[in-house]
Amino acid sequence: MRIITGIYKGRHFDIPKTFKARPTTDFAKENIFNVLNAYIDLDGATALDLFSGTGSISLELLSRGCASVISVEADRDHHAFIKQCLKKLGTDKCVPLRGDVFRFVKSCKQQFDFIFADPPYALPELPTLPRMILERKMLKPGGVLVFEHGKHNSFDDVPGFIEHRAYGSVNFSLFRQPEDANLKAEEKD
């Protein structure tokens, strides 16, 4: 696993062969981050990485200048690996949490500029997650959610959907939290 760009560009981490997680391919990761440049500036952003797996996305977000990242992963070994990678980078800008993503989403009171979610493609609750994140307003107004999923899922009917991108067998749906009309009115006063 390698970090593609930013302050940690080129850093490599060897993933144990026993891991079940399938990290987002470098090709897909590079392309989706190129697309994101049109939607969000990650420099100084707050980010959330759900179903972190190997931590590849969390590390990429830190490298690209996020001020803080919360990484949520249920698997004990994967969580330990993420902590090990963060220690090697010498950064305290990421909080790796071990726990169930759905419990985290239901109890989270924080808002983020950016959320990345890469659930197991066979997860039965997978189709409910984008709507749940948007309805709970986990994104700040204008914030962006990238949701990785299999080719059989479609989310273009979910309010806030922006676009769908496919890179080989990897599919991403992008969403934006609608701007708050009341907030805009207050800013004009």
pLDDT score at 162:
96
Cα 16 off chain centre by: 22
- For residue 180, name the pLDDT band (cuts at 50, 70, 90): low
Contact present, 115 and 52 (Cβ < 8 Å): no
- For residue 118, name the pLDDT band (cuts at 50, 70, 90): very high
**What's the chain's average pLDDT?**
91
- The whole-angstrom separation of Cα 55 and Cα 126 is 19
Exposure string for 141-150, b = 16+ CB within 10 A, e = fewer: eebbbbbbbe
Query: 89 by DSSP, 3-state: which?
Result: helix
pLDDT digits (tens, 9 = 90+) for 124-166: 999 999 999 999 999 999 999 999 998 999 999 999 999 999 9
pTM assigned to the model: 0.92
- The whole-angstrom separation of Cα 67 and Cα 55 is 16
Contact present, 104 and 133 (Cβ < 8 Å): no
In the predicted structure, residue 17 carries a pLDDT above the cut 90:
no
